[in-house]
Structure 1
Amino acid sequence: MIQAILLDLDGTLLNDEKIITEQTKRTLLALQEQGVKVVLASGRPKRGMIRYAQELKLNEFGGLIVSSNGACVTDASTGDTLFEQAMQIEDVRSILKHLEHYEVIPMINDDTYMYVRDVFEGQLEVNGKLINIIEYESRGGQFQLREEPNLIEIIDFPVHKILVAGEPSYLRENATALAGPFTGRVTSMFTAAMYYEFTDFGIDKAKALRHVFEELCIDRDHVIAFGDGHNDRSIIEYAGIGIAMGNAVDALIDIATEVTTSNNDDGISKILERYITH
């Protein structure tokens, strides 16, 4: 019996058009009606996840929102924070200072704004296409943009993560140097080819859920997780059944219980249909 379903968003629950397909939505609603808890677990900030939680009616069924790679867990029904671990302010300032030496775009947010140094310096070439990554992220997270040339000076709010965007090849070449001075102090990882992120030490999606599921008496052996990226490794390893999407990175496919079809081919629904009681 499945007690909970863990779902990454981008590249997993959402297709490439950032849409939850009707088939996948029907399957998830049917399982929630049977008492299964649905958990959205993403690198996105909470603000950028709420609309998908509402679309799946997590507020009606008592689902959870795991945001910022596990730095915060929110009860979708009540809005209560069930777990939170922000970064240390001095670590945030040190990392932002360090990033000034690299050709990257750091972004931080509070509950309303996404803060960047220069709103006009967001152009990146990704998969052969030129996009404004700052506009893309602010729209996805439903944030207002706020330009602050010196980000270090404005931090007086909890920072759950530092999002660093850059050309994929540049980030690959410089990842070790970006993280180097902070190894053992914070957690850092790729969350997409053009994104490298920092969170507080030890934070990942599974750590947050271990804490919350213990309170809810949910057994990890009765949990199924879906993911596609490096930051989904913790939930794939944690869950009794860990499913890699067909479009997942090789490192995730190698450790998954099973591989389903891609996020554009209802890969989630094709697995979960087995668990619907007809």
Structure 2
Amino acid sequence: MAIRAIALDIDGTLTNDQKVITPRTKKALMDAQEAGIKLILSSGRPVHGLRALAHELELDRHNGLLVAFNGAQVRDASTGEVLYDQAISADLAREVLVHMKKFDVIPMLVDGDRLYIEDAYNCTIYSGGEPKNIIKYERDACNLRLHEVRDLAEWCTVPQNKILTAGTGEYLQKNYQEMAAPFSDRLSCMFTAEWYFEFTDRGIDKGRALSFALPRCGIDPSEMAAFGDGQNDRAMIELAGVGVAMGNAIDELKSVADMVCGTNNEDGIAGALEELLA
């Protein structure tokens, strides 16, 4: 099967634990693009959080795609054209934000290059027993500007592609079902990291977004290779002609993938592409 597109999750997949693309992986992806293969960045990040990596990989020159907000929006990396968009209505988003007040979580919204939060000093969660400034982490990862508002639910007057909530992993595991319960038949609710539990519109996932966007590019999903490591990558991995789980992926993803490659710290993408594109 000829591969015409490569879809890549970012954190834990494209980038290593230092949040950078290693030289070997970058070369493999640049070589693939020069051979005419479309590169797709597919992430829970907002569009603005994809742009630095898209620029580094020259997706604008090679007509790549940006799948943002876990599949709630797809943009052409060259033109900025929106190819797919499905947001949570403002009324429903406000309902989620009011419900989240019952829990020890930190809600966040993104608009363009701005990260909206209620209290910049309420920023600490715990990972592995160590404190983590989760607002700084999200701001830095996506190159966002920080804005405080008195009440996110009151501020939210327009549809939202994603509602991000952060918390200590153990707390989220104990409470996520109660957090999601009022919205289980109206929204997609999922973990995207041990400290992130997210809400997107019903049916949204990376696979759904790509199933709409790829045909507009003249590419069948069976002609795509997809790489991921987390729960939110499953639909994309199952859609692809070749679904590849990283060596550091969760067991659930490995169980449905066509192959398992090296970890994100071992140039797993490069090793797999050297095999698949040989």
- Structure 2 gaps of 5+ residues are none
TM-superposed CA distance for 1:274, in Å, is 2.5
Q: What is the distance in 2 between the residues matched to 1:225 and 1:275?
A: 12
Q: Secondary structure at the match of 1:61?
A: coil
Residues 1:152 and 2:153 are matched in the alignment? yes
Percent identity among equivalent residues? 45
Residues 1:256 and 2:263 are matched in the alignment? no
Q: What is the distance in 1 between the residues matched to 2:226 and 2:142?
A: 23
Aligned to 2:21: 20
TM-superposed CA distance for 1:276, in Å, is 4.2
Q: What is the distance in 2 between the residues matched to 1:12 and 1:203?
A: 21
Q: Kindly indicate whether the alpha-carbon contact (under 8 Å) linking 2:89 and 2:158 is maintained by their aligned counterparts in 1.
A: no
Deviations 1:2-50 (A, max 9, x none): 0100100000000000000000000000010110000000000111110
How many residues are paired up?
277
Aligned to 1:50: 51
> What amino acid sits opposite 1:218 in the alignment?
I
Q: Secondary structure at the match of 2:132?
A: strand
Q: What is the distance in 1 between the residues matched to 2:148 and 2:48?
A: 19
Q: What is the distance in 2 between the residues matched to 1:56 and 1:276?
A: 18
TM-score normalized by the length of structure 1: 0.97
Aligned to 2:207: 206
Q: What is the distance in 1 between the residues matched to 2:261 and 2:276?
A: 15
Would you identify which runs of 4 or more consecutive aligned residues in structure 1 move more than 6 Å?
none
Q: Secondary structure at the match of 2:226?
A: strand
Q: Kindly indicate whether the alpha-carbon contact (under 8 Å) linking 1:119 and 1:147 is maintained by their aligned counterparts in 2.
A: yes
Q: What is the distance in 2 between the residues matched to 1:220 and 1:238?
A: 6
Q: Secondary structure at the match of 1:38?
A: strand
Aligned to 1:228: 229
Mapping of residues 105-254 of structure 1, within 5 Å: 105-254=106-255
Q: What is the distance in 2 between the residues matched to 1:79 and 1:158?
A: 19
Provide the aligned C-alpha RMSD in A.
Answer: 1.0
Question: Residues 274 and 49 of structure 1: is their aligned pair in 2 closer, same or farther, counting only changes over 3 Å?
Answer: same
Q: Kindly indicate whether the alpha-carbon contact (under 8 Å) linking 1:220 and 1:240 is maintained by their aligned counterparts in 2.
A: yes
TM-superposed CA distance for 1:157, in Å, is 3.4
Aligned to 1:9: 10
Q: Kindly indicate whether the alpha-carbon contact (under 8 Å) linking 1:110 and 1:158 is maintained by their aligned counterparts in 2.
A: no
Mapping of residues 56-75 of structure 1, within 5 Å: 56-75=57-76
TM-superposed CA distance for 1:275, in Å, is 4.2
Aligned to 2:95: 94
Q: What is the distance in 2 between the residues matched to 1:23 and 1:129?
A: 32
Q: What is the distance in 2 between the residues matched to 1:81 and 1:129?
A: 40
Q: What is the distance in 1 between the residues matched to 2:10 and 2:126?
A: 23
Q: Kindly indicate whether the alpha-carbon contact (under 8 Å) linking 2:93 and 2:159 is maintained by their aligned counterparts in 1.
A: no
TM-score normalized by the length of structure 2: 0.97
- Structure 1 gaps of 5+ residues are none
